[in-house]
Amino acid sequence: MFGFYIALAILLVLGILLLIFRVTRLVGIVKGTGEKIVTDSNNVNAAMMIVFMVLFFGIAGWYSYVNFDAYDQPVASEHGELTDKLFWRTMWITGIVFAITNILLFYFSWKYRYSAKRKATFYPHNNKLELIWTGVPAIVLTWLVISGWMAWDGIMSEAPEESEQIEIMGAQFQWSIRYGGVDNQVGDYDYRLIDAVNAHGQDLSDRYNFDDFISNNLVIPKGDPVLLKIRARDVLHSVFIPHMRVKMDAVPGMPTQFWFVANKSTDEMRVEEGNPDFNYELACTEVCGGGHFSMKKRVVVLEPAEYAEWKIDQKSWLSKNPQYLSQVPENLKELALVTAGINE
Q: How far apart are CA 218 and CA 237, in angstroms?
A: 17
Confidence class of residue 341 from pLDDT cuts 50, 70 and 90?
Answer: confident
What does the pLDDT average to over 315-327? Answer: 92
| pLDDT at residue 39 is higher than 60 | no
> Is residue 342 within a helix (H) or strand (E), and if so which, with residue range?
none
User: 151-209 pLDDT, tens per residue?
Assistant: 999 889 999 999 999 999 999 999 999 999 889 999 999 989 999 899 999 999 999 99
* CA atoms of 296 and 284, how far apart (whole Å): 7
First to last CA, the chain: 68
Q: In the chain, pLDDT over 90 holds for what percent of residues? A: 58
pTM for this entry = 0.78
**In this predicted structure, what is the pLDDT of residue 171?**
93
Measure the CA–CA gap between 232 and 252, rounded to whole angstroms: 5
Say yes or no to pLDDT of 73 above 80: yes
* More confident site: 176 or 116: 176
CA-to-CA distance for 319 and 338, rounded, in angstroms? 10
pLDDT of amino acid 25:
67
List C-alpha distances in Å: 79 to 107, 156, 245, 247: 42, 10, 8, 12
Q: What is the pLDDT of residue 175?
A: 95
pLDDT in tens, 303-315: 999 999 999 999 9
Looking at residues 100-127, what average pLDDT do you find?
82
Residue 47 CA, chain-centre distance (Å), reads 39
Mean pLDDT of the chain: 88
| pLDDT for res 2 | 59
- pLDDT given for residue 208 in this prediction: 93
All structural domains of the chain with their residue ranges: 7-85+99-115, 164-340
Task: Flag whether pLDDT at 27 surpasses 70.
Answer: no
CA distances (Å), 25 to each of 13, 41, 115, 269, 336, in order?
A: 18, 10, 18, 64, 89
Which pLDDT score is estimated for 85?
93
pLDDT at 33: 52
Dist. CA 331–CA 183, nearest whole Å: 20
Please report which residue ranges of the chain form alpha helices under DSSP H.
2-31, 34-66, 68-71, 78-111, 127-155, 266-273, 304-313, 317-320, 333-340
Judged by DSSP in three states, 166 sits in strand
The DSSP letter of residue 70 is: H
Supply the CATH classification number for the domain 164-340: 2.60.40.420
